[in-house]
Structure formats: C-alpha cells, structure tokens
Structure 1
Amino acid sequence: MAKKKSENIEMITGDPKKAIVKLALPMMLSMLLIMLYNIADSIWVAGLGADALAAIGFITPLFMVLVGLGNGIGAGANSLIARYIGANNYKQANNAALHGILLSVIVSVIFTVLIEAFMVPILQFMGAGKTIQYALDYSYIIFGFLFIFVYSGVASAIFRSEGDMKRATIAIAVTAILNIILDPVFIYILNFGISGAAWATVISATMSCVVMSYWIWGKKDLYLDLSFKNFDYQSYIMLDTLQVAIPSTLENIVFSALAIIINSMLVMADGTTAVAVYTASMRIVQLSMIPLIGIGTAVLTVTGVAYGAHNYKNLQTAHSYSIKLGFIVSIALGIVIYIFSPQIAAMFAYTSASSTLAPQIAHAISVLTLFVLAIPHGIMSSMMFQGVGKGVYSLLITLLRSLILESVFAYILGFIFGWGVVGIYVGIILGCFVGGTVGYIWAKLFIRRFKAISIKKYTPQKED
C-alpha cells in the first residue's frame, strides 16, 4: 500500500529544474562542510611538516576508496529507491533501503580485514618512502573504523532518495563542524600528532551516524518506513543495488588509482614535496567543484524518479539543466579561487616547517582551477546514468576520462613534452575535458533512445 506523499516526494516527482535546485543547495552546503574539514585536516597536519602533509596525500586515494564504498552502496540504494518511488511502489522502496543497510554491514567487514592486512605493501607500492610511518599512523585508525564511513554514506543516501536534504545536510554538518573543532585538540593539545587527525575524523563521523540512526529508528518520521518487519530478502534487489553500487565504488577506486599515478609522476618530476603541493592545492580547487557534486547528487535522485515513472521529458530536462547550471556556478567560483590563490595558499604556511610551500601551492592553484571548467558535462552525464540504474555506463565514462585520458595526457605533457609538473597539471585538465565530452554525447544518445521507447510503450494511443 502506498503511503501519502510528503512535500519532499511531491518535489522530486514535479518540475525537475526546481527539484535539482532545491536538492542541490543543501548538498552544496554539505559538500562545502566536508571540504572544509578535509582542508582543516591538511592545514593542521601541514604544521607537522611537509612529510606529514605528503602522507595525507598518499592516504587520500585510499580514503577515497573507503568513502566510495559507502557512497557507492548509497548511490545504488538511492537510485533504486528513487525508481520505486517514481513507480509508486512504496513497499519495495522500503525494502530497497533496508537491503542497502545490509550491504553496508557485509562490505565493511570484508574490506576492513583486507585493507588493514595489506596496508604496508600498498603504501610501499605507492612510493610513500620516508613518509610511510606518518601514513601508517593515520591509516590504521581510519580504516579500522570502516563501517562508520560506509554506513554514514548509505544512511545519508536514504534521506536524499526521498528528497529530505535538510537532515542529510545536518548529519554531514555534525561531522564537519565537530571534526574542525577536534583536529587541533587531538593533534596539538593532546599531542597525538597525525594520529589525532584520524581520531578526530572517526569520532566526528560516529556522531553523525548516531544522529541519522535516531531519525530512522527512533523518531521514525521519514516517508520511508525502515522497520525491520518490512525487510524481505530478495536477491534481485541486491543485484539491482549492486549494478550501481559496484560501478560507483569502482569509480572511486579509479579516482584513487589516478591519484596514485599522478602522485608517482609528481615524485618523478619533483620529489615528495610536489605531492604535498598537489595535495594542498587540489583540496582548494575541489572547493569550486562542490556545486557540481551537489547538482550531480540531485540529478541522481531526480533522474531515478523520472526513469521509474517513464517520464522522458523530466529526464531530458534534468540532464541539460544540470550541465548549464554546473558550468555557470563553477566558472564563477573558479574565478574567485584563482584571484585569491596567494591568500589561500598562505593558510598552509603558518609554521617554519611549511612556510616554503605557499608560493608553489599558489602557482598550482592558478593552473588547476581550470579543472572545474572541464568537468561539468562529464560528471552530470555519469550521475544521470547512475540515477537510471546504468552504473556500468557511468564507470566506463570515468575509466575513459580519469584513468586513461587524464593519466596519458599528464604523462605526455609532463615527460614527453618535458613540461614537468605544470605539464602534469595541464594533462589532467585536458584529459578530463575530452573524456567528459564523450560521456555527454553518450548520455544524449541514451536519452533519445529512452524517449523513443517511452513514446512507443507508455503514451496512450488515440482510438480511431
């Protein structure tokens, strides 16, 4: 039996433009908070010296895999729940959410054991070198509490799937604000060093999980009802969720693999200091990508609902509008970051151990800011494919854009053309644009086919 639709449900099934804006704005705030606490980690760790900051750079790709596990399962659950909501199947929407939570438990246990067991050889392979002890001190703690991060990603996706961005944002805000407060306490006041940054992150994420769990099972005022009596194990729900979850998680692994490759190139070009500079500058440049991530997350929900309802017009509008909006906002933010790059870089030079990094970071930011202009059409196309349950398509776009084209162009310009570190930066930007363009064309072709099928199968035929 279907439940009476809430205001959030009416929103995500209505005008896709309004839905994208209303969903994206809270998500942008969420991502801003996440980015700020990531930058806070870098800024506070930078005070320990370049080796400690470089260690964070080596761990970041692995941490992306960790976060990707939760976000991947969350994306799969979000897509499936949204499609069931679009099809007015309330019972299966509840069941899909519960299957997502079960997956978070299973995956967490498996990957915690694997990552903890092989941490040392992984870091050695990545070329951590003299920074390896810093990296181990940070990573053993972070990866030891994998379930916290995976469950957090899934729970947040459940709120997003029914258009409840307010509470999804509040949960992330709890994590971000608490982490920013705890970082200096654990790193310097309690003198835990780089381990303190890891403990601050774990404790902050745990509090977010507690808050979301209370809303789900304590307050019980969601549109969805996640009482365990509503759980009915169905293998095809697991498979459908995994069709998006696995490719989405693999995308994060692709990003991690790319980061490892880029870090290796930077070490070859200019040593571990280049990794520290790239780590700091990309944390800043990613600030201007927050709107894209927010809009893309909204696109996943809106296109999932449209696909489930066989509404090709909403699907087409959501894809086109999100790209236009993404370009406008990211250009504006990119300009601001470019102009203030020297002042931003100075944040990383507050101790004698890190003072020499500021000019290099400012230069890196001025080049890498162009990255945000190369990505909107590609990322929106990938998120559209995830929304309609075609996770493999999204993965293929990411493989082409990131792992293949970005790394190939970076190597060609950095070493074959002899442009060094700057060539690596430019190669990343060029590869991203070319790969994103291929994804955009593919998405347009998919929407055209979906429109033809929808008109043929679901448009009422007039009687003679």
Structure 2
Amino acid sequence: MYLMALSALMNMVLDPLLIYTAGMGIAGAAWGMVISQVFVAIVLAYWFFGRKDTYVSVSRESYVFQKQTVQDILDVGIPASLEFFLMSVLAIIINGMLVKVAGTDAVAVYAAGWRVVLFSIIPLAAIGTSVISVAGAAFGGRRYDKLPITLNYSFKIGSVIAISISVITWLFAHQIASIFAYTPESSYLAPHIAAFLATMCFFYPFVAPGIMSGCLFQGVGKGMTSLILNVFRNILFIAVFAYLFGIVLGHGEHGIWWGIVAGDILGGIVAIIWAKVYLSRLLRYQ
C-alpha cells in the first residue's frame, strides 16, 4: 500500500515537470509513469531478494513445481493481468476522444487528474487485497457463510472511506489542482483540473462495491468473472458512455468526464449485484 502511494505521488510530481518544465509534452506523462513504476519495482526487488525481511522469503531452494498450484495461480493471475491491460486500452480510448474534442490540453488535464483518482482509491485497493486473502481462506475451508460477511463488511468500510475522500476532493479540488499547475506555463490548466476532480469524486462511492466484488471473485478462484466485470465497466459502460456524452451528444470534454462517472457507477452496481447473486446461490447449494 505504501509503495502504491509512493508511486502515485512520484507520478504526480514527475508529470508536470516532464510535460511542461522539460517540454516533453504527452511523452513526459508516459515517462513519468515508467520512472515511478520502475522505482517501485526496484524497491520491491530489494525487499524480497536483498533485505529478505518480508513475511514470506523467496529462494530457489524452497521452490517445488506443482502443476495444480501453477494452474490455480494462472486461473486467477491471467485474468487479473488482462484487467490491467483493459485499463490501458481504456486510457488510450479516452485520450483519443479527448484529443478529438478538446486537444492535447484535455489529455494533460485528464492525466493529472487521474493521478489523483488513482491515489484516492489506494485505501480501497488495499481493502480489496485483504478481501482476496480472507475470501480465499473461507472458500478453501468451506466456510461459505463467511463470504457474505467479508463482502458486506469490506463494502461498508470501503464506502465510508470513499465518501469521505469524495467530500475532501470536492471541497479542496482547487488546492489539489494547484499541485499540478504551479508553473507559469501550466497555471491555466488549474481550473480545468479542479473541475475534473470535482466531477470524478461523484463515482468514488461506487468504486468500493466494484473493487470488493471483483476481489471476492478472485479470492474464490473465479478470476474470469472478475475479468468479465471489468470488461463491462471499462468497455461496455465507461467507453460507450464517454463516447455517447462527449461525441454523439456533443458535450465535449465535460461529456467524456461524465461518461466516465456514469460508467463507473453502473459498473459498481452490476458488480455488487453479481456478487450477491453468486453468494446466495453458493449458500443455497452448498
């Protein structure tokens, strides 16, 4: 969790420096992402292979090949990897639509604002990681009655955190935006970034049900179901609504923003309904 936060903070600082101060433009945003991710990867590698003070130690001597274990990991790991790929595809689609309706400045606003969004949902992602572990233990021990408790508790805690972050973001949107637009060359973007943040905060409360439901499915070994939910959210909902509001209906940049909000809200609702239906059937036929 700490490294995820550090990566997001590094990205926030590097993006405006590389885009405007270094004059790299959109490529600067890409390099900011690469540098922050590589830094985190180096730190993680040092912890695992250098200091070796983590709870689980990695060594060649402890490795024993087990085909079923590999299969179980791939059943969850491959769909989870494809979920990140979908996020990249969605970013390409959104950037393309923004360039079409509002130019490269809109991409800069989206890139800067989305860093805040990713930073804001880190606590929810951390809770979701815990859901995977708890759900996996309950499912493996055939304590299916604990799965609804896990989902409901994480959903409630996540919703409280998300609503709190939404309120803070909405109240201090201008102050947060100033972090990305503190140079004379980029100061004109500050009001647009603030408007983006004030819009995005409306879907934060619906991130919790989406993340918790997806992590629950990963915990019980249904990685493909989690992937399908992400396809619905990223492609069928967000991309379609962004195109509908921003281009078809002609609302431009702000229409794309509201399309993202609408898609995320609908995706969260579908995810929590799907998870509850699955759990009810699991308990009924156990």
TM-score over 0.5 (shorter chain): yes
Q: CA deviation at 1:453?
A: 4.1
Aligned to 1:117: none
Asked if 1:405 corresponds to 2:237, the answer is yes
- Map of 1:54 onto structure 2: 26
The one-letter code matched in structure 1 to 2:4 is: M
Residue equivalent to 1:34: 7
Instruction: Please give the per-residue CA displacement for 1:200-227, whole angstroms capped at 9, x wherever unaligned.
Output: 75355323311222354xx5x73x5654
SS in 2 for 1:426: helix
1:208 to 44, 55, 59: 44
1:409 shift after superposition? 0.5
The residue type equivalent to 2:49 in the other structure is S
1:376 Cα shift? 1.4
2:117 maps to 285
Classify 1:432/1:56 alpha carbon distance in 2 versus 1 (closer, same or farther; 3 Å): farther
**1:250 and 2:87 are equivalent in the alignment:** no
- Cα offsets for 1:222-276 (capped at 9, x unmatched): 3x56543432212222221111111000000111101100000000011111100
- CA distance in structure 1 between the partners assigned to 2:167 and 2:25 by the alignment: 26
Letter aligned with residue 52 of structure 1? M
Give the aligned residue type for 1:254: L
CA distance in 2, matches of 1:226, 1:207: 15
Q: Is the 8 A contact 1:35 1:283 kept in 2?
A: yes
1:352 to 184, 190, 196: 184
Q: Which residue of 2 aligns with 1:44?
A: 17
Q: Which runs of 5 or more structure 1 residues have no equivalent in the other structure?
A: 1-26, 60-137, 143-197, 455-464
Aligned amino acid, residue 427 of structure 1: G
Superimposed CA distance per residue, residues 42-98 of structure 1 (whole angstroms, 9 cap, x where no aligned partner): 24324426x6353244x3xxxxxxxxxxxxxxxxxxxxxxxxxxxxxxxxxxxxxxx
Whether 2:163 is the aligned partner of 1:331: answer yes
Secondary structure of the 2:175 match is: helix
* TM-score, scaled to structure 2: 0.91
- Separation in 2, partners of 1:205, 1:327: 30
Question: For residues 177-196 of structure 1, what are the structure 2 equivalents within 5 Å?
Answer: none
| Residue identity opposite 1:448 in structure 2 | S
CA contact (8 A) 2:135 2:147 kept: yes
Contact 1:46 1:348 in 2 (8 A): no
Looking at structure 1, the residues matched to 40 and 83 of structure 2 have their Cα atoms a distance apart, in angstroms, of 26
Structure 2 spans left out of the alignment, 5+ residues: none
Structure 2 counterpart SS, 1:374: helix
Q: Distance in 2 between matches of 1:201 and 1:241?
A: 23
CA change 1:215–1:446 in 2 (3 A) is: farther
Q: Residues 201 and 385 (structure 1 numbering): CA distance in 2 closer, same or farther, change over 3 Å?
A: closer
- AA matched with 1:337: T
Q: Distance in 2 between matches of 1:441 and 1:270?
A: 36
Report the residue type matching 1:207 in the other structure. V
Within-5 A mapping of 1:61-80? none
Contact 1:42–1:53, Cα closer than 8 Å, also in 2: no
Identify which of 387, 393, 397 aligns with 2:225: 393
CA distance in structure 1 between the partners assigned to 2:203 and 2:167 by the alignment = 12
SS at match of 1:383: helix
Deviation at residue 314 of structure 1 after TM alignment: 1.8
Larger radius of gyration: 1
Partner amino acid for 1:54?
I
Number of corresponding residues: 286
Cα root mean square deviation, aligned: 2.2
Question: Please, which of 145, 154, 163 is the counterpart of residue 322 of structure 1?
Answer: 154
Conserved 8 A contact 1:285-1:337: no
Query: Are the counterparts in 2 of residues 414 and 423 from structure 1 also a CA contact under 8 Å?
Result: yes
Structure 1 residues 292 and 362: alpha-carbon distance in aligned structure 2, compared to 1, 3 A threshold: same
Instruction: Answer yes or no: is the 8 Å Cα contact 1:348–1:358 preserved in 2.
Output: yes
Q: Which amino acid in 2 is paired with 1:209? A: A
Q: Partner of 1:182 in structure 2?
A: none
Q: Distance in 2 between matches of 1:215 and 1:313?
A: 40
Name the CA distance, whole Å, in 2 between partners of 1:234 and 1:305: 20
Q: Aligned letter for 2:170?
A: Y
Determine the C-alpha separation between the residues in 1 that align with 2:285 and 2:10: 45
Letter in 2 for 1:290: I
Do the aligned residues in 2 keep the contact of 1:266 with 1:274 (CA within 8 Å)? yes
CA contact (8 A) 1:39 1:283 kept: yes
Q: Secondary structure at the match of 1:389?
A: coil
CA distance in 2, matches of 1:413, 1:292: 28
Corresponding residue of 1:362: 194
Instruction: Give the 5 Å matches for 1:228-267.
Output: 228-267=60-99
State, as a whole percentage, how many aligned pairs show the same letter.
Answer: 37
Cα deviation for residue 39 of structure 1 reads 1.4
Aligned partners of 2:49 and 2:61: how far apart in 1?
A: 17
Q: Tell me how far apart the structure 1 counterparts of residues 242 and 177 of structure 2 sit (CA, whole Å).
A: 23
Question: What amino acid maps onto 1:34 in structure 2?
Answer: S
